Amino acid sequence: MGQDNPKAAALRARLDVGRPALAMAAHNPLAAKLAAAAGFDAIWGSGFELSASYAVPDASIIPMGTHLELMRAIGEVQDAPIVADIDTGFGNAVNVAYAVPRYEAAGVAAVVIEDKTFPKDSSLRPGGRQELLAVGEFQGKIEAAKAASGVLVVARTEALIAGLGLDEALRRGAAYAEAGADAVLIHSKQKTPDEILAFCRAWPGQVPLVLVPTSYPQLSFADVAALGKVGLIICGNHAIRAAVAAMQSVFARIIAEGGIAGVEADIASVADVFALQGDAGMRQIERDFLR
């Protein structure tokens, strides 16, 4: 197709390397609605968060249809552009060419495809399997995605996580940009941002970079903006982690205290939840149309 659709064009306009756009992960429409209300520029349709919400490993277990329906549902409740995490693209270039137009039809603005083999293994899992595709094979996936849709295509290289070094990561990033990627996501599980900073400083800037600073949270948004290379920062798993921590704390207190009274002041009211559900709009329809 070659031309951005309106949602992709809106996201592209936000990929400002002087002021990177901020995306928050979501594992359900409610989390996405809260993220948009908080002021995030985009929603990260996280495969990790979705897998975690089903209490299964992030290893290509959740089927494409489940993730696709989540993207559609997120788009129905808020207006921020959606960046869909489609892992390895569900197979080869043929699978990518099939999948990406369906994500476009579901309303996403961009897809992120990683250069690992299918099925994937979580990048951050200790001892995880990190087998990368040949560069030419992954370029074929990028080209298939671009030919089949008008969404932005972000190519994610796991070269640093696989231990292949800075030069190979830069080589892969440049090859993916040459194949038509609109941005390159460079990832690391090092506890300091040193190798990411080295990559960013060496990046010649053909396309904007995307960072997911989960493992090196000490790198502030201002630090990233100062690099002048990054167009999008993704908070990759903070919604599910916040939800897990909050539920663990409240559930434990209820058991320990022998009742629910003690937690009432620390959790959202039922009225707050009704508001997020759009209850007032439904009541208005009842008044207007139910005689």
Cα–Cα distance, 156 to 13 (Å, whole number): 20
Amino acid at 108: V
Which tokens belong to 259? 């009742």
58: annotated active-site residue: yes
Determine which of 4-18, 118-132, 214-228 has the lowest per-residue pLDDT on average.
Answer: 118-132
Query: pLDDT category, 133, cuts 50, 70, 90?
Result: very high
What sign does the CA torsion over 6, 9, 13, 14 have? positive
Structure tokens at 86: 């489609």
In sequence order, the 6+-apart residues with CB closer than 8 A to the CB of 110 are: 8, 11, 81, 82, 83, 84, 151, 152, 153, 154, 182, 183
State the residue for tokens 């994937």: 120
The DSSP letter of residue 131 is: P
Q: At residue 129, does pLDDT exceed 90?
A: no
Does 163 score more than 60 pLDDT? yes
- How deeply is 65 buried, as exposed, middle or buried, from its count of CB atoms within 10 A (0-12, 13-18, 19+)? exposed
Q: Which residues are paired to 184 by β-bridges?
A: 155, 209
Chain segment 240-291, per-residue pLDDT in tens:
999 999 999 999 999 999 999 999 999 999 999 999 999 999 999 999 998 7
pLDDT digit string (tens) for 106-115?
A: 999 999 999 9
Per-residue b or e along 154-172, where b marks 16 or more CB atoms closer than 10 Å to that residue's CB = bbbbbbbbbebeeebbbeb
Checking DSSP bridges between strand 42-45 and strand 82-85, what pairing results, if any?
A: parallel
Neighbouring-strand partners of residue 152 = 110
Report domain extents, the chain. Answer: 6-238, 244-289
What single-letter amino acid sits at 56?
V
The average pLDDT across 205-228 equals 96
Give percent of the chain with pLDDT exceeding 70.
Answer: 97
Please tell me the pTM assigned to this model.
Answer: 0.94
Task: Kindly state the percentage of the chain with pLDDT values over 90.
Answer: 92
Which among 4, 41, 58, 121 is annotated as catalytic? 58
Contact 202, 170 (CB under 8 A): yes
Distances (CA, A) of 255 to 244, 251, 252, 265: 17, 6, 5, 17
The CA distance from 104 to 8, in Å, is 9
pLDDT greater than 70 at residue 6: yes
Rounded CA separation 112/133 (Å): 15
What does the pLDDT read at residue 121?
73
Q: Where are the beta strands (DSSP E) in the chain?
A: 21-26, 42-45, 82-85, 110-114, 152-157, 183-186, 209-211, 230-235
DSSP letters, 224-261, are HHHHS-EEEEEE-SHHHHHHHHHHHHHHHHHHHHTSSG
Architecture of domain 6-238: Alpha-Beta Barrel (3.20)
Report d(CA 185, CA 187) in Å as an integer.
6
pLDDT band at 159 (very low <50, low <70, confident <90, very high): very high
Return the ∠ at Cα 141 (arms to 201 and 174), rounded to 5°.
20
